[in-house]
A and B are shown apart, each in its own frame.
Chain A
Amino acid sequence: MPAVTYSHSPSGRYGGGRIAHMVNLVHADDRYFAVLDNNYIGSNQIEWMTPEEFRRSWTGLGGGWAVILLAAPPPPSPTGAN
C-alpha cells in the first residue's frame, strides 16, 4: 500500500486549507482513488476522490512522493489468547 503526499482534502477536511501531509492510498483505479488519513481513522472515514482530484492533492506541494514499503509489516497486536 503506497503512502503518498497529500496537499489538500477534496472533501473539505482541514478547513479546506492547504496542508503538507502523507496518507495511505488504499485504492486506485481508473475511476476512483481512496485515501486513509491517520487524522480521520476508521473504515467509514475513507476519502474517495477522482483521479484528477487525487493528482492535484498528491502534487499540490510542487511534487509528490509515493513510498512503498517492501518489507512485511510488524505482527498484529496479540489478542484473544487461547
Chain B
Amino acid sequence: MYALLFPLLFGQCGPGGCAIPPGWPQWQPLVIDRTDRQPAVFDVEVVPQDGQVWFDSHAVRLLGGKGRVQTPPLEPGRRYRYRVTARWSDVERAWNLSFSPGPIPIPVVLRRDEPAPSTSGSNATPSGSSGPGTAPASKPEGQLPVVEQDGVQNFGIDRSGLNSTAERITLDGRQITRAEAAQILQAGSLADDSGKLRLTVIGTESDRRRVLDDLKGPLADIADQCLVQDYSPDHWAVAKVGFYTAGKPTIYIQAPDGKVLHRQDDYADGASGLRQAFEHVRRPDPNYRPERDRDLRGPADGLLSRLLDMLARPFRVIFSWLLTAGVIFLVIVLIMKGWLFFLFYLLVSLVPGPPPQAKTAGTNQRQPAQHRRARPSTAGARAKR
C-alpha cells in the first residue's frame, strides 16, 4: 500500500495510460539454449475475430483473428503450461493449456461461444474454467517467456506501450512534468536508508496500529533510526521468506543484512518494553577501547614509523628489564653495606609531612627573626671552612 510506482516512460502509452506489465517484477526462469531443445508453436485463432488473446501475461498479436505464438527452446518430452485468456467485448474466458514441445505447430481455436478451446494434436491439452461476463483477468502465472512473431523473446513486456518517441512521466499513473520528477527524485524521500536498522511489525491491523502509534509518539526517536514497515501476516514480503508471523504482533529489529537483532511476539509491555529492547540492541560494544582508536593524520601511522616501532620494541623490553635489575642490585648493595637505615631515612624524608599547624601572629612575626639569626651562623661556618 505504500508502493509509489514511478514509471518514467520513454515511449507511447495506450489510452489507458502507460501499463506496467502485470507480471512484473517476477523472477523468470533461466533461459539456456541447448541444441536438443525445440520450441513449441501455437497457431492461435479467435472466433469472432475481434477477440484479444493472452498467453500468461503476453498479449498475442492477431491479424484477422489469427496469430502465432512460439516458445523458447524447451526440453522434449516435458510438459509445460500456459494460462490462455481470450477476451471479447462482453465475455472473457481463460484456460490452462498444457503441452509438450514438438515440431508441428499446435492449432488453438478460441471460440467465444465454447467454454473450451479446440486443439488438435496429441501434445496439447486444454483445461480450465471459463464463463461469460467481464471477470478480471486471471493472475498471470508467468512460467515461460514467449517468442513472438518477429523473433523477440518476450519475458513479460507489454510492447504496445513502447512504440513511440514521446516522453511521458507518471507518478502512480498520474502524469507529471520533468521538473516535478526531478524534484521528487532529489527530495528526502529518496535518501539512502540502506544502513538503517529494519524495524518490521507483523500482525493484524489493530495489533500493528498500537506499535505504529507509539512509533509516531513516544518512540519517535527510535523510528527515526530505523526503517519502519508493517505487514499483515499473509503479506508476500514476510509470509514465505522465513519471518515468524504469528505474534500479536511480531516485531523484528534487523541489521541491514538481515541478521535478527531482536524479536518479540507480543506488545504486552508496550512502548517501554520495545524501548528497552532497542537500547539493548544499541548498547555500546564492551570490547571497544577508545584509546586504541587511530588518528590517521599523524606521521606515526606511516609505514616507516610502524617499521621502526616494531624494530625498537625488543630494545624497549630489554632496557626495562635492565633498569629493573639495576634497581634491585642497588638495593642489595645498600643492604650489604649497612646503609639500610640511611636508605629508610632517605625514603621517609621524601614523604611529605603533615601541614604546619596554625600559628599566632606573634609567632609568625618571630619566624623571620629566627631565619635572620641562622643566616649569620651559616655564614660564619662557611668562613671557618
A63 touches B10 (CB 8 A): yes
Q: Is B121 an interface residue (CB 8 A)?
A: no
A38 touches B257 (CB 8 A): no
Tell me the bound Cα distance from A69 to B329 in angstroms: 79
User: Per-residue CB proximity of B20-54 to A under 8 Å, as 1/0?
Assistant: 11001101111101000000000000000000000
User: Per-residue CB proximity of A23-53 to B under 8 Å, as 1/0?
Assistant: 0000000000000001100000000000000
Q: Is B362 an interface residue (CB 8 A)?
A: no
B21, B157, B258: the one within 8 Å of A61 (CB): B157
A75 touches B237 (CB 8 A): yes
Q: Which one, B88-96, B128-136, B238-246, B302-310, is touching chain A?
A: B238-246
Q: Is B159 an interface residue (CB 8 A)?
A: yes
B4 touches A5 (CB 8 A): no
Residues of B within 8 A of A82 (CB): 260
B20 touches A67 (CB 8 A): yes
Residues of B within 8 A of A2 (CB): 8
Closest A residue to B259 by beta carbon equals A80
Once A74-B237, A78-B254 are accepted as A-B contacts, the answer to whether A19 and B153 lie under 8 Å apart by CB is yes
Q: Is B64 an interface residue (CB 8 A)?
A: no
Q: Is B223 an interface residue (CB 8 A)?
A: no
Residues of A within 8 A of B217 (CB): none
Closest B residue to A59 by beta carbon equals B10
A71 touches B4 (CB 8 A): yes
Residues of B within 8 A of A3 (CB): 24-25
User: Per-residue CB proximity of B185-216 to A under 8 Å, as 1/0?
Assistant: 10001100100001010000000000000000
A63 touches B164 (CB 8 A): yes
Q: How many B residues touch A, CB cutoff 8 Å?
A: 61
A14, A65, A69: the one within 8 Å of B162 (CB): A65
A62 touches B157 (CB 8 A): no
Closest B residue to A76 by beta carbon equals B258
Query: Which among A2, A61, A70, A75 has the highest number of chain B CB atoms within 10 Å?
Result: A75
A75 touches B151 (CB 8 A): no
Residues of B within 8 A of A18 (CB): 150-153
B260 touches A79 (CB 8 A): yes
A38 touches B152 (CB 8 A): no
Once A17-B153, A62-B159, A63-B9 are accepted as A-B contacts, the answer to whether A71 and B20 lie under 8 Å apart by CB is no
A22 touches B25 (CB 8 A): yes
Once A59-B10, A70-B189 are accepted as A-B contacts, the answer to whether A39 and B237 lie under 8 Å apart by CB is no
Closest B residue to A72 by beta carbon equals B227
A22, A67, A75, A80: the one within 8 Å of B5 (CB): A67
B258 touches A79 (CB 8 A): yes
Residues of A within 8 A of B237 (CB): 74-75
Once A14-B153, A39-B30 are accepted as A-B contacts, the answer to whether A81 and B184 lie under 8 Å apart by CB is no
Once A67-B20, A78-B242, A78-B260 are accepted as A-B contacts, the answer to whether A5 and B153 lie under 8 Å apart by CB is no
Residues of B within 8 A of A58 (CB): 10
Residues of A within 8 A of B20 (CB): 65, 67
Residues of B within 8 A of A65 (CB): 7-11, 18, 20, 161-162
Residues of A within 8 A of B14 (CB): none
User: Per-residue CB proximity of B151-175 to A under 8 Å, as 1/0?
Assistant: 1111111010111110000000000
A17 touches B151 (CB 8 A): yes
Tell me the bound Cα distance from A2 to B7 in angstroms: 9
A72 touches B193 (CB 8 A): yes
Chain A's nearest CB lies how many Å from the CB of B112? Answer: 29
Chain A's nearest CB lies how many Å from the CB of B254? Answer: 6
B200 touches A75 (CB 8 A): yes
Once A63-B163, A70-B4 are accepted as A-B contacts, the answer to whether A76 and B10 lie under 8 Å apart by CB is no
Residues of A within 8 A of B27 (CB): 38
- Nearest 7 Cβ contacts at the A-B interface: A63-B11, A74-B237, A76-B258, A20-B157, A81-B260, A70-B4, A20-B154
A-B pairs with beta carbons under 8 Å apart, 25 shown: A2-B8, A3-B25, A15-B33, A17-B153, A18-B152, A19-B154, A20-B152, A20-B157, A21-B154, A22-B21, A39-B28, A59-B10, A59-B11, A62-B11, A63-B12, A63-B162, A65-B7, A67-B5, A70-B4, A70-B6, A71-B3, A72-B227, A77-B258, A78-B252, A79-B260
